Amino acid sequence: MTDDVLRIRQPIGVTYTWSAGPGSAAYLRGLTEGKLIAGRCPTCNQVYFPPRNGICPRDGVLLTDDVEIGQAGTITTFCIVNVPFLGQSIEIPYVAASILLDGADLAVQHLIQGCPVDEVHIGMRVHAVWKPESEWQATLASIAHFEPETDPGTGGSDRIDAKATNRA
């Protein structure tokens, strides 16, 4: 019999800072200010959001122009997540989508909320819903999610109510 320690469990963490570099700085700063800042390639004019570290993957040149793009866009593809996994923070089912924001040439990945998952479709118009301003940080998570645009004057809840009535 021995009193030697055979095993110890000790969580560790590493705190570090890093420089975003000129390629991502405007994009990340924009997210702290409620703006979506993309990078435009001077050669092919493609507008990248996110700006992919400031390099055009087609031409291999720096994205020299910062462009503010729209807060709304169109779903180009999506999936409905039904599988629970460790660390999941959102109640299933939920939708993860590729969204082509107005003025951008590259779709961005984000969550779709604010409507039943079976109403999400390719071509659906959605807009950004930001977290409270006090929670804005240099991350795309400053946007809580995207949700469907509603027709002015009717409102989203009216539309959902009408659909529920039709089903009855």
DSSP codes of every residue in 28-83: HHHHTTT--EEEE-TTT--EESS-GGGB-TTT--B--EEEE--SEEEEEEEEEE--
Return the range that interacts with Zn ion (CB under 5 A); candidates 54-62, 73-81, 142-150, 151-159. 54-62
Return the range that interacts with Zn ion (CB under 5 A); candidates 56-64, 126-134, 141-149, 152-160. 56-64
Selected binder of Zn ion within 21, 22, 32, 58 (CB under 5 A): 58
Number of residues in contact with Zn ion, rule: CB under 5 A?
A: 6
Shortest reach from residue 58's CB to Zn ion, in Å: 4
Question: At residue 74, what is the residue type?
Answer: T
State the Cα–Cα distance between residues 12 and 78, nearest whole angstrom: 36
Shortest reach from residue 59's CB to Zn ion, in Å: 4
By CB under 5 A, is residue 41 in contact with Zn ion?
yes
By CB under 5 A, is residue 74 in contact with Zn ion?
no
Contact at 8 Å (CB) between 153 and 137?
A: no
